[in-house]
Structure 1
Amino acid sequence: MSDTREPGSVTVWSDIGCPWASLVLHTLRGAAREREQEILIDHRAFPLELFNSQPTPKFIVEPEVIVIAARRPELGWRLWSGRESDYPSTMLPAMEAVQAAKDPAIGGLRGSDELDTALRRAFYAESRCISIPSEILDIAADCAHVDAAALAGAMERGTGRAEVYEQWRTAQGPEIQGSPQLFASGGYAAHNPGVTARWTGDPDHGGLPHLEDYDASWAEDLLGVVAAP
């Protein structure tokens, strides 16, 4: 499972609607920019709604957004400010689009990661409903390494859906502990790295997330592993 598709890449299993995964990806991308190190992220879907047989509840996502954004304000996240009726009830179309964008004719891994980044920003910072294809394609149109017209055609054909379901089945195996799960060369594997957090109680009965610590040094360690010959 630690093998990646291309040298110098990191495989990340996650759900776009998982704030912890979005924090990890932001940290990794930021550390790579500071080091001026090229990195490719191969996204794999860990679709929480398929695991849980329900949409990921807003009353779970938003408290996590609050505690993460308070610790890392540079994320620019905010609570959902759009109409309540526009809050995404599914992240599957967005995850399918990220998989579809891996086609070299659409964007390859670079374009796929660029789209993933843009979709997360649209949801967490801009309160855009990334459940619907038109919104996804509007976002893709602003991605320099994504051919939005080619992506539109791929989405019409259902490209990416089979990949998401296949990845969901793979993610049920013991090596993938949750969203996010990272793999890289040399046997590197980490689940939600850097995070020390707990819920104060059952979120269905008023429990809240508590982020006790976030140590971002894991990203430097991982980039060192990726850069090693």
Structure 2
Amino acid sequence: MTTVTVWSDIHCPWAAVAVHRMREARHADGASVLFDQRPWPLELVNGQGIPYDIVSVEAAVLANHEPDLFGAFSADSRPSTSMPAFELIAAARRVQGTRAAEDVDYHVRRAFFRDGVDISIRSGLRRVLENAAEAHPHLAVEDILGAWDNEPVRADVLADYRRSTELPIQGSPQVFWPDGTTSHNPGMTDHEWVRGIPRIRTADPEAPLRLLRERAAPATEVSPAPSH
């Protein structure tokens, strides 16, 4: 099993697109890959709360590229912090490992961007976890919630964030491939902000699949030459 590490903010719509496309690429290719989702909370990076005036505009633009990922935002679903969501993902990792954390991470993103769930409160996150378990029956809902309540999952998130400060992270998302290379926002880097709107100049929706094949494929074992 190959592991690809992804550092991102849970409220980043660019990351939601990248994560979705990488999961789709894995499914299409039948690749034996885990996506190790690691927290890069922008509220810690920037020292301020989530800029929803930016997030909502980005999400509206990206909905044209991945319409099934996005829905309407409401004022009531705008969490003030990402930390509870990251803690829940850390709890899933403690209880069941990387794949469980990946699945919970994906469903948290989708619930926020598509369904408008407040992912800063327990009731919202519990609902997300229960819905995730319907799609992924391996998820142990009560065990994960128990770890969230009783284990130092906030410390796990902060330890990861401290580790991220030593990495060459350009922004959310940043993908680190098994071959030692890294990609920022694969397939969506060619954009700029013009009069308050991100203008995507070119997009490459096949980039995650191509990069997965190029940079995450297991090395081919070379057989020794026969002796004479």
The two structures have a TM-score, normalised by structure 1, of 0.87
- Name the CA distance, whole Å, in 1 between partners of 2:192 and 2:90: 31
User: Residues 158 and 90 (structure 1 numbering): CA distance in 2 closer, same or farther, change over 3 Å?
Assistant: farther
Q: Which runs of 5+ in 1 are unaligned?
A: 1-6, 202-206
Question: Percent identity of the aligned residues?
Answer: 36
Q: Which residue of 1 aligns with 2:185?
A: 192
Q: Quote the offset at 1:160 in angstroms.
A: 2.0
Cα distance in 1 for residues equivalent to 2:62 and 2:76: 25
Match of 1:59 in 2: 53
Which shifted more, 163-172 or 88-97?
163-172
Q: Deviations over 1:128-167 (max 9, x none)?
A: 0011122212221232232111111111125321121122
Question: 2:139 maps to which residue?
Answer: 146
* Amino acid corresponding to residue 197 of structure 2 in structure 1: L
**C-alpha separation in 2, matches of 1:154 and 1:172:** 26
Contact 2:16 2:110 in 1 (8 A): no
Q: What's the CA shift string for 1:206-227, capped at 9, x where partnerless?
A: x221122211232123221222
Please name the residue that 1:130 is paired with.
119
Q: How many residues align?
A: 213
Cα-Cα RMSD: 1.6
Task: Tell me the amino acid that sits aligned with residue 204 of structure 2.
Answer: D
Query: Which of 90, 108, 125 does residue 81 from structure 2 map onto?
Result: 90
Report the Cα distance in structure 2 between the residues aligned to 1:38 and 1:141, rounded to whole angstroms: 26
Identify unmatched segments of 5+ residues in structure 2: 220-228
For residue 166 of structure 2, the aligned residue among 160, 165, 173 is 173
**TM-score normalized by structure 2?**
0.87
* 2:156 alignment counterpart: 163
Per-residue CA deviation, residues 182-225 of structure 1 (Å, 9 max, x unaligned), is: 11211121111111111115xxxxx2211222112321232212
Structure 1: distance between partners of 2:86 and 2:98:
14
Paired AA for residue 113 in structure 2: Y
* C-alpha spacing 1:58/1:108, structure 2 compared with 1 (3 Å): same
| 1:19 pairs with 2:5 | no
The question of whether the paired residues in 2 share the 8 Å contact of 1:48 and 1:56 is answered with yes
